[in-house]
Amino acid sequence: MSAQHLESHPQWSTRLAFILASAGSAVGLGNIWKFPYIMGDNGGGAFVLIYLGCLLIVATPILISEVMLGRRSRSNPISGMAKLSREAGVSPAWQLIGWMGVLTGFLILSYYSVVMGWALAYIEKAADGAFVGADADTVEGIFTSLVSNPGTLLFWHTVAMLLTITVVARGVRGGLELATRIMMPLLIAILVLLFGYNIGTSGFAPAMEFMFAPDFSRVTGETFLVALGHAFFTLSLGMGAIMVYGSYMPANASIVKAGIWIIVLDTAIALLAGMVIFPIVFSNGMSPEQGAGLIFQTLPLALGAMEWGYWLAIVLFILVSIAAWTSAISLVEPAVSYLYERFGVRRLYSAIGAGIATWTLGVFSALSFNLIDDVTLFGKNFFGIMEFLTANILLPAGGMLIALFAAWRMRRADSSEELGLSGGAYRLWWALAAVVAPAGVALVFLNGLGLFG
Ligand code: PFF
């Protein structure tokens, strides 16, 4: 039965479709919401530099490896890893990569959907004109009142989850390409516009200094852990999402080129988001360390003061919501494609099942801003613990296993053929995936645990 389903594994219609879909998965709340806020919490420039280093040295070879495993297996991450282990003649225990990915996707989506709900709620607030002419206190009050209201949060969390499972149930290819093709250029256009608007403001110079003049006195083991974790999170790396998208990739497309495109686009959008947010922070005498509410307390302030701000605010929060949406669906895709290909479960049913389970767990994240905000571990609420565990531990660990499998377990002839690389270029990828990237993850883990003093 499973073999029969495996044979009907779908493919993207064009080479560009893979890049668009993967970029849709990569570009999301991670770029616009999370990157600015963790950069703010971790001191700015030094964090940015470490993050870029992690992207280049650790995430790039792993991204290429993950896409390669997906396309080679032409299957969902769990069955796919079983198939690749068989092909390589190694233990089927490597399927663990697929199982870990399904679990990680479930944990991430539970809180991702809550934040996507904030973005959706902000479309409504923008349409109500709540930000027009608002000052810093008003804007802060709007965010505080949103997160302190359990009913409203749960309502928007539910809407976000419904949107997500609707697309997943219909199959990720339909509609997704179109959404990404329109969303991405528009999002970049609005961010560039806001950036241009910021250039003349008093906060511009301090913001550039904050982001690009590294101050290493603020760097700790945790800074490395957060930067590395974010490199994985922002690229949707280490949990099978990119693997499953890679499995739909046409055979004639170049994995390395596609991977580089995705990384460049994702990084450009994150840096642009930072360059939009921090001038607003410094122009208004705000603190960069506002945590998870940062973009919701800064963007409305700038938009509210702009001439076309009313309309721009609506469009911007619609775009942020779409960006979140195209990412959210990739979090469930590994699980849904597994249930379909292995057991023939219809996408509709598995999407609903996954949606209900994830929604339920997400309730705790939503409530951790209000009713259960006193339940904390290491100073983090439930939401914060989920974020830390998934982005900073599970994704890098998954990525490390992916790199180790691709470099040490697959036959070299197979990986070289699938990547379309030979000679020096192949050896470079191999050395990075076999040694440099896994060692990087291991060092950052040990350092994060405080083992180096
Ligand atoms: N890359 C997404 C973002 O930056 O918002 C988040 C994400 C999506 C992480 C899919 C992991 C994943 F599998």
| Cα 144 to averaged position of ligand 1 atoms, centre (Å) | 25
Please tell me which residue, 15 or 112, carries the higher pLDDT value. 112
* Across 123-137, 180-194, 384-398, 405-419, least confident range: 180-194
Name 137's Cβ contacts closer than 8 Å, sequence gap at least 6: none
Is 70 exceeded by the pLDDT of residue 444? Answer: yes
pLDDT of amino acid 316: 93
| Cα 233 to averaged position of ligand 1 atoms, centre (Å) | 5
Q: What percent of the chain has pLDDT over 70?
A: 96
262 within 8 A of 231, measured Cβ to Cβ: no
Which residue from 368, 366, 370, 392 is spatially nearest to 382, judged by alpha carbons? 368
The Cβ of residue 229 has, within 10 Å, a number of other Cβ atoms equal to: 27
| Interval 190-218 mean pLDDT | 94
Pocket mutation for ligand 1, best pick of 27, 108, 187 (most atoms within 8 Å of C-beta): 108
| Cα 341 to averaged position of ligand 1 atoms, centre (Å) | 23
| Cα 31 to averaged position of ligand 1 atoms, centre (Å) | 9
Residues belonging to the chain:
453
**Which tens digit of pLDDT belongs to each residue from 263-281?**
999 999 999 999 999 999 9
Ligand 1 atom with the shortest distance to the CA of 33: 5
Q: Within 6 Å (CB) of ligand 1, which residues are found?
A: 25-26, 28-31, 105, 108, 233-234, 236, 239, 241, 327, 330-331
| Cα 266 to averaged position of ligand 1 atoms, centre (Å) | 11
| Cα 391 to averaged position of ligand 1 atoms, centre (Å) | 9
Q: Number of H helices and number of E strands within the chain?
A: 23, 0
The Cβ of residue 364 has, within 10 Å, a number of other Cβ atoms equal to: 19
| Cα 51 to averaged position of ligand 1 atoms, centre (Å) | 16
Pocket mutation for ligand 1, best pick of 112, 245, 263, 389 (most atoms within 8 Å of C-beta): 112
Find how far residue 119's CA is from the centre of its chain: 15
Which residue from 265, 231, 230, 223 is spatially nearest to 61, judged by alpha carbons? 231
pLDDT of amino acid 9: 79
**Which tens digit of pLDDT belongs to each residue from 44-79?**
999 999 999 999 999 999 999 999 999 999 999 999
| Interval 11-35 mean pLDDT | 90
pLDDT of amino acid 18: 86
Pocket mutation for ligand 1, best pick of 232, 331, 358 (most atoms within 8 Å of C-beta): 331
| Interval 438-451 mean pLDDT | 87
| Cα 390 to averaged position of ligand 1 atoms, centre (Å) | 11
3 state DSSP class of 377: strand
Ligand 1 atom with the shortest distance to the CA of 334: 13
How many Å apart are CA 81 and CA 84, to the nearest integer? Answer: 5
How many Å apart are CA 58 and CA 434, to the nearest integer? Answer: 11
Ligand 1 atom with the shortest distance to the CA of 26: 1
Is 90 exceeded by the pLDDT of residue 16? Answer: no
CA distances from 261 to 91, 172, 254, 268 (A): 34, 21, 11, 11
pLDDT of amino acid 8: 65
| Cα 234 to averaged position of ligand 1 atoms, centre (Å) | 5
Write down the CATH number for the domain with range 3-448: 1.10.4160
What is the largest distance, in Å, between two alpha-carbon atoms of the chain?
A: 65
Locate tokens 């280049």: which residue?
56
How many Å apart are CA 14 and CA 1, to the nearest integer? Answer: 29
Ligand 1 atom with the shortest distance to the CA of 266: 4
387 within 8 A of 101, measured Cβ to Cβ: no
Burial class (CB within 10 angstroms; exposed 0-12, middle 13-18, buried 19+) of 151: exposed
326 within 8 A of 180, measured Cβ to Cβ: yes
pLDDT interval class at 342 (50, 70, 90):
very high
**Which tens digit of pLDDT belongs to each residue from 25-39?**
999 999 999 999 999
Task: Tell me the domain boundaries of the chain.
Answer: 3-448
| Cα 20 to averaged position of ligand 1 atoms, centre (Å) | 14
Ligand 1 atom with the shortest distance to the CA of 323: 5
CA distances from 121 to 147, 299, 364 (A): 11, 14, 19
How many Å apart are CA 300 and CA 225, to the nearest integer? Answer: 31
pLDDT interval class at 325 (50, 70, 90):
very high
Which residue owns the Cα nearest ligand 1 atom 12? 236
| Interval 110-122 mean pLDDT | 98
Ligand 1 atom with the shortest distance to the CA of 234: 4
| Interval 378-407 mean pLDDT | 96
